[in-house]
Amino acid sequence: MVTGASSGIGEALARQLAARGVGLVLVARRGDVLKQLADELRERHGVHVDVLPLDLTDDEQCAEAERRLADPHRPVELLVNNAGSSGSGLFADLPLKRELQTALLSAIVPLRLTHAVLPAMIARGSGGVLNISSMSALLPRPRSATYGASKAFLSSLGETLAMETAGHGVRVTTVHTGLTRSGFHQAAGVPADRLPDMKWLAPEQVAQESLGALVAGRPAVVPGRAYRLRYPVLRVLPRWLLRRIVRREHQA
């Protein structure tokens, strides 16, 4: 099951999984886009593809995805937690509803879906969970406060679950993505001049490195050489210094 499968990293993961002969359950709000993608993947790769047009921020629609994941007659071997949203602006100025949706999609929905699928995976002794997190999880993120905080939750959850499931044949991998050309930032209303001048990643590269890390049983992966070099530095820098660096970036 791939959430947020209608575009960007989610779509790239769906395409690469289908190319490997993997049957899919595609989840996103845009049912028409999902159906078009599903038809293409069935025709090109001959795989079975189910479509679940769901708004995962809605409690009952999220519960529908949970029921599908827990269905013992149709076991899911891999859950990809990719759905996400964000807004751009000062936290106090942004609508509460949108901030709650961001927190739900990046933190609570992955928790619910993983909790629904993990018991059966552990019982079988096989399966995997791929969490699409962000480098933002390491940093204070002015104008994207809720997004960064919820991704920090997801990263921490994924790291811990990788430890808890290590002896049960289940792999949990968290992906710390950098800037990716997925349309996400435009949808969030983030001005291009506020984004760091670093190399952008293609969704296909993120998907390929993510699946490679999952197959290898690695608990975490940072796609892109530039971001891999930056990641360990960010983890060890004092928080006061990180805040100063981020403040200068936003003032530039």
Q: Return the active site residues.
A: 147
Could you please report the per-residue DSSP string of 76-139? -SEEEE-------S-GGGS-HHHHHHHHIIIIIHHHHHHHHHHHHHHHHT-EEEEEEEEGGGGS
Residue 146 to residue 62: CA distance in whole angstroms: 20
Cβ atoms 27, 52 nearer than 8 A: yes
Nearest to 233 by CA among 122, 139, 110: 139
